[in-house]
Structure 1
Amino acid sequence: MSRPAPSPFYTLRGAGGPLNTLHFSCHGGDSPLLFSGSGKGAIHIWNLNTRRTEKIVEGHAGSSVIWVSRLQATDTLISSQGRDMQVCLWDLSEGRSEVVDSVWTGSVGFCQCSILETTPRNYLLAFAGQQSEEIKIIELPSKTPVCTLIPDAKLGMVMCIKLWQPNSGAGPLLLAGYEDGSVLLWDVTQRSKLSQAKAHPEPVMCMTFDTKRLRGISGSSEKKLSSWMVDRQNNLQGQLTCLTHPSPVSRSQALTGKIQECVTLVNPGVSQLCIRGDGKLLASAGWDHRVRVFGWKKLRPLAVLQYHTDMVQSVAFSDHQDPKERLLAAGSKDQRISLWSIYNEGADTG
């Protein structure tokens, strides 16, 4: 007999709006925390020991908060992005809730920022610009412009971005998903496009990237997740097997810039994707109110988590140092955050 579907071990209520973004901070501080951004402009800081709100930060003039991230090893400096076209840097030390700086993006879209620490207390911040296809990158805290990335062809609005630093020692790279379904790899230092692949027939709604395996996965409004690789020559390519077709894909086919590996979903629409820190699990936030969990290595379906009564808009894995304490959080349009404890005992995830 198959095991019954698990239930959340706890639910956080009181966000006051749809949950657009989640970010864990479970080491380096006194208590494990979860940051959430709501559609009503509030940032909630949840204490996971007491399971209550520790602080509520009101920002972005009541506009929807679509991204929250911690900036350093402590919980006293965070950044947030709102649909008021602002990225704010907050100082939360000693009970404060102060905006210490802000960046005007000019973008009214839903593309979440991406931040990369380059040296201690220095960061690169990438965000969608005022023009629909442009990505701007600046240094923080100086706010010095680094570059503006605009594709040669008309790809439509930029939908999602991911800054990362390759282990080769080369400069930072950026992955971007666009409205026409393309994924592009950019060299930030050279301000140039390295490669491009067609991942979806519809806009790329979300993506995540495993910097250790150089492997990414993206979702759209369709019933499919597309998996892809970045090879040693910085070419985007599909993997050499296809989960929806039994026949193997030749290497010549894989290098054409078309994505070859995909996972077919039961229902269409994915809001967000997240890979657990140990590289074993992938979670997807579904428009069908469900969270799906896969083994990241083989993309094997492991669980369907059913709790929410509306679209799931965000998923995040905790960064607990003890694997037994690791959590999965899901935020929904139903204004609730579900917390799940699954696959923490070294089970075969595949």
Structure 2
Amino acid sequence: MALPPPDPQFVLRGTGAAVHTIHFSCRGEESHVPVLFSGSENGFIHVWNLKTHRVDTALDGHGRKSVYCVETMGGKDRLLSQGRDQRICLWDLAGGRTSVVDSVFTENVGFCRCSLLKVAQGRWLMAMAAKALEEVQVLELPSKTSVCTLKPEVGAKLGMPMCLKLWQLNCSSQPLLLAGYEDGSVILWNVTMGKALSQLVCHQEPLMSLDFDSEKAKGISGSSEKVLSIWSLNEQQNLQVCKTHSLVNAGVSDITIRPDKKILATAGWDHRIRIFGWKKMKPLAVLDYHTATVNCVSFSDHKNPSERLLAAGSRDHRISIWSIYAQT
């Protein structure tokens, strides 16, 4: 008989608005306090202390416009945030500072989260939706040098980029980008050459989220439909649909594969978080706590597996924190 789903380990309250993005920073020295960054509709980024379950710092850098992406750059003192003010901000949080040290004006009115990839010590690639409707721009950070602009073929009618994932097989291989579009397609791009390698129609509706497991060369995507699409990349770098997984209710806001590649979590429009085994897509749990759409899910990066957590941010202004590692 299946175990009943657990309750949240704890709940973070006090954002004052819908939570659109979350990101853990839990690695570091013994004295390092694990934190969770969250971005909200009211333009604030909250830095949550996971020991006290309270906000240590509230950052205000997006003119009170919704923040829909937060990522750390090599530690909790360097933060990147993206907002509906069409700005991507780089923050210096070292020594208690709360300052924006640089920013990039995206000129894009959508809500496609940018994607970061560390390519060398102190050097990152960042992919973001560009000003032109179907285009993706790739910059190098912190220099903000343009690497390439990824333009689909004339007449492709892909619509806007909806979700992006930069990745590389290893530090010596070429960086690649998976981009999900409004027409339901996923395209694999070679960033160095600025060239599309493969295209696959995965959904009938716009992609809302995707994640990719480079070790298994397998990815997963969700849309506003009642289906998850699982696809793979063969040795010729062609995308192929493996299978689809039907959902009870329509709408997936976010998908994330746990770093150990054993399980994945989805954020549902039906207020629920679903956990699956990644190998065979076996449903493992339905976490039912929130009272509105779950917008984002994220696994923590604790070194010790027994300490690792799952967080979910919702339109109900709350962030639920779950410990599901004992069961997996």
TM-score w.r.t. structure 1 length?
0.91
Alpha-carbon offset, residue 168 of structure 1: 8.5
Match of 2:161 in 1: 158
- Structure 2 residue matching 1:262: 3-state secondary structure: strand
Check conservation: 2:119, 2:171, Cα contact below 8 A: no
Distance in 2, Cα, partners of 1:119 & 1:169: 10
Count, aligned residues? 324
Q: Which has the higher strand share?
A: 2
Partner residue of 1:75?
A: 76
Q: Which residue of 1 aligns with 2:148?
A: 147
Q: Counterpart of 1:162 in 2: which secondary structure?
A: strand
Q: 1:224-247, CA deviations, whole angstroms, 9 ceiling, x for partnerless residues?
A: 0000011111110122xxxxxxxx
What does residue 312 of structure 1 align with? 294
Match of 2:23 in 1: 23
- State yes or no: 1:321 paired with 2:323: no
Equivalent in the alignment of 2:183: 180
TM-superposition CA deviations, 1:130-154 (whole Å, max 9, x none): 1121100011111111100011111
Alpha-carbon displacement from aligned partner over 1:272-328 (angstroms, at most 9, x marks no partner):
001111111110000000000000111000000000000000000011111111101
Checking the alignment, whether the CA contact within 8 Å between 2:140 and 2:147 is kept in structure 1 is: yes
Q: Which residue of 1 aligns with 2:114?
A: 113
1:189 pairs with 2:171: no
* Aligned equivalents of 1:235, 1:88: Cα separation in 2: 35
Cα distance 1:139–1:282, how it changes in 2: closer, same or farther (>3 A)? Answer: same
Normalised by the length of structure 2, the TM-score is 0.97
Partner Cα separation in structure 2 for residue 123 and residue 5 of structure 1? 39
Q: How does 1:185-224 map to 2 (within 5 A)?
A: 185-224=188-227
Corresponding position of 1:291: 273
Deviates more, 1:283-292 or 1:53-62: 53-62
Aligned partner of 2:230 in structure 1 is: 227
Percent identity between the aligned chains? 56
Structure 1: 4+ residue segments shifted above 4 A: none
Structure 1 unpaired stretches of 5+: 240-260
* Deviation (angstroms), 1:170: 2.9
Q: Does 1:303 find its partner at 2:285?
A: yes
Is 1:135 aligned to 2:136, yes or no? yes
| Residue 324 (structure 2) pairs with residue 330 (structure 1) | no
Letter of the 1:229 partner, please give it. S
> C-alpha displacement at 1:9, in angstroms?
1.2
1:81-114 per-position Cα deviation (integer Å, ceiling 9, x unaligned): 0010000000001111010000011111110000
